[in-house]
Amino acid sequence: MIFDAVIFDLDGLLLDTERLALAAGTEALASLGHAVPEEVFISLIGIDAVEGHRMLCDHLGCTLDAAALDAAWLQAMDARMAGGVPLRPGVHQTLAALDAHALPRAVATNSGTARATEKLAAAGLGGRFATIVGFDAVLRGKPAPDVYLEAARRLGAAPARCLALEDSDTGVRAAHAAGMTVVQIPDMHPSRERLAHHQAASLTEALALFGL
C-alpha cells in the first residue's frame, strides 16, 4: 500500500458547508452594518478565524468586533445547519473504500476541534475518524503545516506516507509543507496556485488515482 493513512480537510471537502458559511457570513456582517461582496468571502475559504477577521477589516477599512461577528456568524450558521449538515459527493463511498483497505484517517481543519466534532456528528460522520485536529490544537493554523503534522503524529504515520485531501489553496499549502502527497478537489472556485500533486473532481476520483 502506497499510503499508511489518509487525512481530510473538513469544510468544502467532506462537508458541503462553504455555501452555508457564505450566506451566514453575509447575514452576520449585515447585522453589524456591513456589506461584503461574494468574492471577498470566497477569498476566506480555508482561512482560520483570526486571519479572516484581519482580511475583513482590511477590506472594510474599519475595526470589527471579532466576538460580536463570531457570535452572529455562529448563530446564522447554526440556523442553516439545524436540519443536518450536507455532505460533499462521494463521502460515504470514500470512507467505505478506506475501510476496505484498513487505512486509518483523520480530519485536519482550520475549524475549532469541538466545532468540527459537532459538525461531523450532525452530518452523520461521528466516530468515522480516528482523530480530529482543529487549529486550536496546534500553534499555527493553515497554511502552516501544524494540523497535518499533528494528525499524522496521532495516527502514528510518517507524513511522507500520508495522503492529504483538500479543497482550498490554503489547505493545499499546509499539507504540501507537511511533506504529504496532496490531492486538491476544489469546491466553490478552482485553484489559483496549482500546488497540489494532483487535481480531482471528486473524492472518489481522488482515491481512484491511487487504485483505492
pLDDT of 2-56, one tens digit each? 999 999 999 999 999 888 878 888 888 888 888 887 777 777 776 777 777 788 8
- Check whether residue 72 and residue 97 sit in a common domain: no
State mean pLDDT over 176-195. 92
Number of domain units in the chain: 2
The domain containing residue 172 runs over which residues? 5-16+86-208
Active-site annotation holder among 4, 11, 16, 146 = 11
CA-closest candidate to residue 31, choices 63, 78, 73, 92: 73
Using the 3D structure, point to which of 27, 45, 80 is the last residue of a domain. 80
Query: According to DSSP H, which parts of the chain are helical?
Result: 18-31, 38-43, 49-60, 66-80, 91-100, 113-122, 146-155, 169-177, 203-208
The answer, yes or no, to whether residue 131 has pLDDT greater than 80, is: yes
Q: What is the CATH number of the domain that holds 37?
A: 1.10.150
Using the 3D structure, point to which of 37, 57, 80 is the last residue of a domain. 80
Using the 3D structure, point to which of 80, 106, 124 is the last residue of a domain. 80
How many other CB atoms are found less than 10 A from the CB of residue 56? 21
The answer, yes or no, to whether residue 140 has pLDDT greater than 90, is: yes
Q: What's the pLDDT band for 121 if we cut at 50, 70, 90?
A: very high
- Check whether residue 92 and residue 169 sit in a common domain: yes
Full-prediction pTM beyond 0.75?
A: yes
pLDDT of 56-92, one tens digit each? 888 777 777 778 888 888 888 888 888 788 999 999 9
Active-site annotation holder among 9, 146, 167, 169 = 9
Assess whether 78 carries a catalytic annotation: no
What gap in Å lies between CA 125 and CA 79, rounded to an integer? 20
State mean pLDDT over 107-119. 94
- Check whether residue 48 and residue 149 sit in a common domain: no
- Check whether residue 42 and residue 116 sit in a common domain: no
